[in-house]
Amino acid sequence: IYNKKTVSIAEQQKDKESLLTYYKRLIRLKTSRTSLLRGKFKAVELPFRTSKASSWMMEDEDESALVIHNLSAEENLQGPLPEGWTDARMIFATDSRSSADGQMDIAPLSTIVLLR
């Protein structure tokens, strides 16, 4: 073994919180939504000032997906969702307290994906 700290694939397959499981979820998400798979990329500004977030939209003729990453390792990303996204459906979140009533509350180093 090159790195004794490396967790084997066999061990990761048993762990629902493993990096392998996380990447499998991301791949399933991307291949299940046409907007994420073949959509056009568009940068999206959040409706409040922050340097601790990255957000973009993937859009095709049938649907749009909004991806928001909280880049801060310490603070939640809180504020209103962009215009037109308050009624969108959340299809992915790395943290349970992510968005409600047109507001987002994204934990540090977490991501949400909304679909409309």
**Domains of the chain, residue spans:** 1-32, 39-115
Neighbours of 24 (CB within 10 A): 13
What average pLDDT does range 103-111 have in this prediction?
A: 91
pLDDT band with cut points at 50, 70 and 90 for residue 56 = very high
pTM for this entry: 0.84
Distance set, CA 29 to CA 55, 84, 109 (Å): 17, 22, 19
Q: Report in angstroms the alpha-carbon separations of 63 from 52, 58, 80, 89.
A: 27, 9, 21, 12
CATH H-level, domain 39-115: superfamily:
Golgi alpha-mannosidase II (2.60.40.1180)
CA distance 74 to 31: 31
Q: How far apart are CA 103 and CA 97, in angstroms?
A: 11
